[in-house]
Amino acid sequence: MNIAIKEMQINEEIRDKELRVIMGDGEVLGIMSADEALRIAEEKDLDLVKIAPHAVPPVCKIMDYGKYRFEQTKREKEAKKNQHVVEIKEIRLSLGIDTHDFETKVNHARRFLTSGNKVKVSIRFRGREMAHTENGLVTMKDFADACAEFCVVEKAAKLEGKSMMMFLAPKPKK
């Protein structure tokens, strides 16, 4: 949940009779009325923020709310920046693929896998090629062997309709 845009009750919005009040540094001030807690917050030129509305009595914290929201937004942006979305890249082979084309496809797969993406390798059988699906299995096995040093076979080659598919994932980093 995005804390930066989550609305919290602050200052005069807090209407509860009794509150458990804590300071920004963690010091517990105890249970008091909302008016008294608001007076203490105003004396220190800070905000009274309800952080646990479902507790009995509700817990409020005396802190600088603007600074708190800014820091939360900054943390969320940093976390978002550090995450990598894994994409599935597709490489299509043919039954009669030549060696140089095969090596080019292996290099493409290497580039995709080293950047952290998964690879879907597929062979489409057309016409009489359907009678020789075992050749497709051999091609898939050769492709997996050529990529073995930088990937693991996530889902082995399997014939589905007129195409054969195999999924490769990058090797886990140690």
In-domain check, residue 30: yes
Q: Are residues 23 and 66 in the same domain?
A: yes
Q: Are residues 43 and 116 in the same domain?
A: no
3-state secondary structure of 149: coil
Number of alpha carbons in the 13 Å side-chain half-sphere of residue 82: 6
Domain final residue, candidates 80, 101, 116: 80
Check which CATH number belongs to the domain holding 43 and give it.
3.10.20.80
In-domain check, residue 157: yes
Cβ burial of 157 (10 Å; 0-12, 13-18, 19+) is buried
Q: Are residues 129 and 162 in the same domain?
A: yes
Check which CATH number belongs to the domain holding 158 and give it.
3.30.110.10
Distance spanning both ends of the chain, measured CA to CA: 31
Residue 128 CA to residue 150 CA, distance in Å, equals 34
Q: Are residues 164 and 95 in the same domain?
A: yes
Task: Please report, in tens digits, the pLDDT of each residue of the chain (174 residues total).
Answer: 454 446 778 888 888 888 888 988 888 888 888 888 888 888 888 888 888 888 888 898 998 888 888 988 898 888 888 777 778 999 999 988 999 999 999 999 999 999 889 999 999 999 888 898 899 999 999 999 999 898 999 999 999 999 999 999 998 876
3-state secondary structure of 110: helix
How far CA 151 is from CA of 83, 86, 99, 136, 142, in Å, comes to 21, 14, 20, 20, 13
- Domain residues for the domain of 49 are 11-80
